[in-house]
Each structure stands twice: as C-alpha cells, then as structure tokens.
Amino acid sequence: MQFSAAQIAMMINGKIEGNADAQVASFGKIEEAISGQLAFLANPKYEEYLYTTNASIIIINESQELKHSIQATLIRVPDAYTAFATLLDKYQQIQTQQLSGIQQPAYIDATSKIGEGVFIGAFSYIGENAIIGNAAKIFPNAYIGNNVIVGENSIVHPGVKIYHNCIIGKNVVIHGGTIIGGDGFGFAPQADGTFKKVPQIGNVIIEDDVEIGSNTTIDRGTMGSTLIKAGAKLDNLLQIAHNVEIGNNSVIAAQAGISGSTKVGNNVMIGGQVGIVGHLTIADGSKINAQSGVSKSIKTPNTAVTGSPAFDYTAALRSQAIARKLPDLEKRIKELEEIVKEMKDRVA
C-alpha cells in the first residue's frame, strides 16, 4: 500500500516542502529508514539524522530550522510526534477494517447479537446474550462471556477473556492475554483460621476510547462495578482490584497494582511498579513516580509524589540530597565533638 506526500499531508494537515508526488510504502526510524519509507523527527537528539537519512518523506515540526539541504520531502506540522501517531492510527485502521466475517471453527450462541462488519476469529467463544457492536474485531481464541457487551469498533486481541456481564465501550483496544472480570480478592477470615470466599457478583465497565495492554487483570466488583473511565490508557501486566475506579484520561505504566475500592482521579499519571493500597482517593492530575508505595490518599490535585511510603516529590529529592551528604556530616560532627572535648579538658 503506497501513499504520496500529498495524501499524507492531507491526513495530518501538514505543509509540504519538496516533491508532493514522493511515494512511501512503509515506516522507518529516522536513523535507519531507507528509500520508500516515511520517518519523523520530534526529539532534538536525533536531528543529525535529518541530514543523513534515506527516508523519502519526513514529518517535522513547523519550528524546525534547517542547517543543511535535505533530499527528502518534508511535511511540516505543529507537533511531529502527534501527527506521526495519528498517521499510524489511520494506517492501522485501514488494515483492521479489512478484517470481517466469521472464521471457523468458532462458537457463537444463538441468543447473541452480532453487528455489521464484525470480525470473529477462529476458536473464539461468544456466550449467551452477548452483544458485539458494529465493526468490532474479536481475534482468535478470545472468550466473550454471557451478557457481555463489546461496543462498536472495539478490538479484542487473541487470548483475551471477558467474563460474564462485563461491558466494553466503543473504540476500546484490549491486548492479548488480558482478563476482564475475574473474581475480586475477597475472603472473610473465620474463627478457625480459615478463609471463606466472598462471592463477587458485580462486573467491570470499560468506557469508550480505553486501551489496555497485554496480560493485565481487571477484577469485577464485589457488588457494583469496577470502572475504567473514557480515555484511560493501561499498560501491560497491571492488577486492578475489585471496585477500583480509574478516571478519564489517566495513564498507568506496567507492573503497577491498585488495591480494592481505590478511586483514581482524572488525568493521573502512575509510573511502573507503583503499589496503591485500598480505599484511597487519588486526586485529579496526580503524578506518582515509579516504584512508589502509596499508603495515604492524595487529596490535593496535581500533586507529585515519590518513594515508599510516597510523599511530596520535591521534598523527597531534598531528602535524597541530604542523605547523600550524611557521611560528610557524620565526619564533621565527630570533628566538632573532638574540639568540644579538647575545650572541656582545657577548662578543667
């Protein structure tokens, strides 16, 4: 599939410098691209490759100043990284839109409702009263349980399991191996030291435009719903416990875990391997640094925290700076103690 510079510029609202008829058929890194590929430059660290790359078309920022002549056709946009992401998304949509129909063998219960333009891959299971919206893509070996709703244009990748009664919105992407709606971790301690399982009768609701990485687990609510709000982006290998809420446009990096009933606000950024205990509130705009352990609610919006237990990011940096100086401070204290001792001996 080939695209001209003129077609690409139209898709991303860019301005062409050079040959508008230049053609590309694939993408490449600016430092490795060959003729016939499209690259982009957003990070100034890679500017040197702008003048040596063999890419046929390069997307660059409007503000980018040229130090030397360039053979490639340039497309200038306000934000090269965002424009490139938009282009990749359109390219991916073109590829996935070509998928349609039902491969065999696949089990589709007679009571389920399948929309138009749907793709269902081989060895998939669609349960009783499930609803698959128009243009949704269910890849091979996926499991869609009873009464599950998968919204329009959503993509369920291979090996995903969506348990009964869960609701998936529109334009959601769920990557391979993820499990939606498994039982929450609820066990009541008994007098004899054993634990009695608490039935988990809620569900999971994932709103529109959410993306969930591979091998993530999102547990159903004990009662009510575990809720992932519109626009949230979840990485691979996350544990989201029962009745957690993740706010609009919040992002969570890999290997983080959020315990039951914690409410994460809108536009929150959570780094990799963060642990958050249960029943907390994380205010809108909070930023939690990687490997932090959050044991108390963050009540002030736009707060940045780090450490375990996590506390104010700036204060934590100051503490680290002081900690590095502790050996020198200890030496100075010992010297002062010796001086004080000598002075006492003289007085005596």
Active site residues: 242
Record the tokens describing residue 94, joined without a space.
Answer: 């073109």
Other C-beta atoms lying within 10 Å of the C-beta of residue 265: 19
Rg over CA atoms, the chain: 27
Reference 262, options 243, 249, 238; nearest CA is: 243
Report d(CA 34, CA 203) in Å as an integer.
49
Q: Which two tokens stand for residue 165?
A: 């009664």
- Non-local (6+) Cβ contacts of 109 within 8 A are 126, 127, 128, 129, 130
> Which residues, other chains included, contact 222 with Cβ-Cβ below 8 Å and sequence gap of 6+?
184, 186, 198, 200, 201, 202, 242, 243, 260
The residue among 235, 243, 236, 238 whose CA lies nearest residue 275 is 238
Report the residue count for the chain: 348
The residues, ordered by sequence, that sit 6+ positions from 58 with a Cβ below 8 Å of its Cβ are: 30, 38, 39, 40, 41, 50, 70, 72, 73, 74, 75
Cβ–Cβ under 8 Å, residues 221 and 199: no
Cis before 301? omega within 30: no
